[in-house]
Structures are given as C-alpha cells and as structure tokens.
Amino acid sequence: MSLAGKTIIMSGGSRGIGEAIAVRAARDGANVALLAKTTEPHPALPGTIHTAAAAIEAAGGHALPLVGDIRDDAFVLDAVARTAEAFGGIDIVVNNASAIDLSSTRDVTMKKYDLMNDINSRGSFLLAKSCIDHLAAADNPHVLTLSPPISLDPKWFKTATAYTIAKFGMSLVTLGLSEELRELGIAANSLWPRTAIDTAAVRNVVGAGLTTHSRTPAIMADAAYEILVRPSRECTGNFFIDDDVLEEAGVTDFSIYLNGGEESELALDFWVEPKGPHDPTLSLH
C-alpha cells in the first residue's frame, strides 16, 4: 500500500517531526492540510506553515496551509470542511501539535498548564472528533497521535508533572477512540520516539547539547508512514515506538538516522525504558 492520493489533516507541522511526516507522505503524492499559527518564523524555531507547505509540494504532494489555532473550535471545524472540500474527503488525522514546558509543579504557571492541555489533549480530541464522519467514509482511515505509551509508574511524573499530564491526555484520546471507533474501521494509534529527536523545539527547551545524542526526525516520519499504510481494521489501539515499527518493517541499519555521535550515545526520550542492557542509558529525565 501507499499514501498516493490520500488526504492527511495534521495539527502543527510547520517544522520538525510533523513536517518530516508530511513530506514523507508527500513523496507518495499525498494531500496534506496543515493547521498551524506559524505565519512568521520564530527567532529560535525556524520554519513556518508556508515553508512546510512548499516542502510538501516540492516532494510531490499537494499542500493546503490553514492558518489558525487548534484551540479554536470554529477554526478547526472550518479547516476540516475546507480540507474535505479541497481534496474530496479525509483519510488520515495526525495529531502532531504539542506545547511543552518542563517546569516543576511549583514553578509551572497555570496559564502554561492550560496551554499544554488545550493544545495537546483537547486539540487532539477536537481534531479527531471533527473528522469522524469523513474518516468513516474513507477506505483505510487512521488517527495517529504523537504521544507516549501510558504508564502510571510515578517516576515518569517526577520531573514535569504538568507536561506529563498533557501528553498522557493525548494518549488517552488514542485509547478511547481505538475502542469507540473500532466498529467503523477507523484506526487510532499513538507513536513515540525511543530516543531524543533533534528538532528546533527540543533544542530550544532542552538545549543544543542534546544534538549529538539524538536521531533525526526521519525515523519518526518513516515509522509513521509504516503505520499509516497498514490496514486500519487490523491496526488499532497501539502505542508504537518508532524503532520497533521499523524493525518489524525489516529495517536493520539505524545508523542512517543518527544525528552525529554513536548509537551508544543516544539519549532515551521521555517515558521510554531501555530495550536491553546494551541500550543507551542517558535519559532526558
């Protein structure tokens, strides 16, 4: 299977992992609608909805940049309608938009707490909810949310409880929709990286020193692609890790995703356990 002619609606996607997923799909000739606010580049976060749209077109796809706020119900409903009208339907929802603040509970402001939950969990719920009728009419419909496996081990909450709550809220969207929409044949899955991924957003929050301990966004893009071409009725309710997906697809050389450094120097991402004794031990937590 391929994503040729499929229509993807994605929250965010102006840069980083979201853009990489969109461009990978565009190489098949997919249509991609991007819902984002980024009309002007941020000083520390290069890339806008327009540069991402240009990259999608250059890769062979068709882009529909829709400028607005994922927290705005009216904007999301209009964006869904415009996407379906432009491309004749919607096959795939990618919940990519996410706000991050790693402050402790004592230090995080309630404004930032609300921002993270409104964008991360509420935004994912709203976009998926708004697309259900279109997805039900598609022949291989998927909702893919970039969020981690849910674990109630207290250690995952120790560093940044507010952020963890917001990301696990996205994962609860996957858990709920996978059951609620199963009979409609709509798949709902989550995807998360095993290691740190080198994006401008991560460098802005964690620091540039993480660069050589990271993989490139291409590993998440390739893993997302492998999930989205699977039959939706046979692939739902999963919390996938990027390199597990690619191993199952037959990938054996992961050095192509290195961003400098060595495999042994990679940092594990949030909420991820090492696979074995020889895995990297450096952690973002």
Catalytic residue positions, numbered: 163
For the chain, strand residue ranges (E) read: 7-11, 31-36, 62-67, 92-95, 142-145, 187-192, 239-241
| Contact between 169 and 190 (Cβ < 8 Å) | no
For 6-85, strand residue ranges (E) read: 7-11, 31-36, 62-67
Distance CA 230, CA 242 (A): 15
Query: What residues have CB less than 8 Å from 156, skipping those under 6 apart?
Result: 164, 270, 271, 285
Structure tokens, 261: 């450094």
